[in-house]
Amino acid sequence: MSVNGSDILAALNAGSGINAKNLAEQLVAAERAPREGVINRKLDSVTAEISGFGELSSILGALQSAARKFKGTSVISRGPVSLQRQLQWNFRLLMSWMWERMTFR
């Protein structure tokens, strides 16, 4: 049978009656909470940034795929201005999407 120091004191009717183990746990939890909050907020921020980069990468991949479809087609040979306008429109769309998702700190 294992007996800890608090149980011995209680059995002998000695000590202050304060639950030292519970007090120590509460003090550790109170000291840990602010640090843990800071870490969790940073983790959330980094997770959001990584998610944003993933979305941006996906959009850029789609844009690249769309540009590849134009390669070697008559649209490019007949009218590079049309391709330029399409790419400008896609770029504006991408920039407005990025602007909507930006967070200012």
Query: Number of structural domains, the chain?
Result: 1
What pLDDT, on the 0 to 100 scale, is given for residue 55?
A: 83
Residue 83 phi/psi, 5-degree rounding, is -65, -40
What pLDDT, on the 0 to 100 scale, is given for residue 35?
A: 92
Q: What does the pLDDT look like over 48-100, one tens digit per residue? A: 888 888 888 888 888 788 777 766 655 544 555 566 777 777 778 877 777 77
What pLDDT, on the 0 to 100 scale, is given for residue 18?
A: 76
What pLDDT, on the 0 to 100 scale, is given for residue 7?
A: 65
Section 19-44 average pLDDT:
90
What pLDDT, on the 0 to 100 scale, is given for residue 33?
A: 92
Name the residue range of residue 84's domain: 5-101
